[in-house]
Homo-oligomer: A and B are copies of this chain.
Amino acid sequence: MKAFNDLADFSNEEISELIALASRLDKHPEPEALKGKVLSLLFLSPSLRTLASFQAAMVRLGGGSFVISPDMSIHGLETRPGIVMDGSAAEHIREAMPVIASYGDAIGIRAFAERKNINADMAETEFAALTDLVDTPYINMESAMNHPCQSLADWKTMDDHGIPANGGKFVLSWAYHPLALPLAVPAATLHMAAKRGMDVTVLRPEGFELPEELMQKARSAAASSGGSVTETDQRGEAMQDAQIIYAKSWSSTRHYGDRLGDQKLREQHLDWCVNESWFGNADKECRFMHCLPVRRGVVVADEILDGPRSIVIPEARNRMLAQMAVLHQMLGRSS
């Protein structure tokens, strides 16, 4: 495996194999599988789960990792091409990227969206500028519009909890949050659920529609796997027979890059906080998922997070297991 950048690059069979491998490594540890192997971890954006789970994954497989983030060093990292570096940045990514990569057998890279221009973000301009500089295999640890490690973990989490792939009803719901957040997780989640063959509804207020390009990508995946994709701003309609509600806040696409316009619109939707009243016509066993971190009482009520619907903790643990499977395939002897 040369890159783990987008679930769309893998067939459903390949994904099933990765998930089976993740489960096997959980039950039957292989502490020598990646003996002496090194994963470089570059965090241009902050992290808790990703930071912890990748380090733990490498140890469990017998290897190790190191972490580089710009705040660990006086060296600011310059990203603009062709610039005369007489300011504060002491190093350019054109040197930093290949050097950091050269110390590892693979590199994980996290770089959130700039959220100035939606076309640049959709094109993954920044992330591609980074990975173009790297010869080793790489892992997308969250880019402007993708988060494949989260999606692989989410897919496994639904398998673990017996949520059907074909015919399963999946609601991806926008939720209120005081800040304008990236679209990476909703983009990846929408595609993942459609690719898994589920009937997916995107539930969001007007002004928070996901970009048409993402909807098309999901519809195309659904078409191949027997699923479907719809969108609505009607909660009751969306939640009908739902087996999963996956909550996540994201930026207004109508006001993308316009902080004040976004804020004005989102503050009209303070009531988009998932609580038990949402589940009236859902499947009785409907589960709650979220990628974390999550704001209690804002995105979701305590009663949900602390009750039997929530599977956010096993979902988070699956990050480690899913990544172990990816690393095993990417760096293992049989690779």
User: Which A residues are within 8 Å of any B CB, using their own CB?
Assistant: 29-32, 35-38, 40, 46-49, 51-53, 55-56, 58-66, 68, 72-75, 78, 82-86, 90-92, 94-96, 98-100, 102-104, 178, 292-298, 302, 305-306, 312-313, 316-317, 320
Q: Is B35 a contact partner of A103 (Cβ separation < 8 A)? A: no
Chosen A-B contacts, 7 in total, with CB atoms closer than 8 Å, are: A38-B56, A46-B73, A48-B99, A91-B292, A95-B293, A99-B292, A99-B316
Nearest CB of chain B from residue A247's CB, rounded to whole Å: 13
Q: How far is the CA of A181 from the CA of B16 in the complex (A)?
A: 54
Q: Assuming the A-B contacts A292-B99, A294-B91, A316-B102, are A36 and B51 also in contact, with contact meaning beta carbons closer than 8 angstroms in the complex? A: no
Min CB–CB distance A296 → chain B (angstroms): 5
Query: A59 and B73 in contact (CB under 8 A), knowing A95-B305, A296-B84?
Result: no
How far in angstroms is the closest Cβ of chain B from A166? 30
Expressed in whole angstroms, the Cα–Cα distance for A78 and B297 within the complex equals: 12
Q: How far is A86 from B178 in the complex, measured between Cα atoms in Å? A: 7
* B residues near A317, Cβ cutoff 8 Å: 99, 102-103
Q: A37-B59, A46-B74 are in contact. List 10 more A-B contacts (CB 8 A).
A: A29-B36, A35-B62, A36-B59, A52-B68, A56-B66, A83-B296, A83-B297, A86-B298, A95-B292, A99-B313
* The residue from B64, B75, B90, B91 contacting A55, defined by CB atoms under 8 A apart: B64
> In whole angstroms, what is the CA distance A46 to B71 when docked?
11
- Most chain B Cβ neighbours within 10 Å, of A30, A95, A302, A306: A95
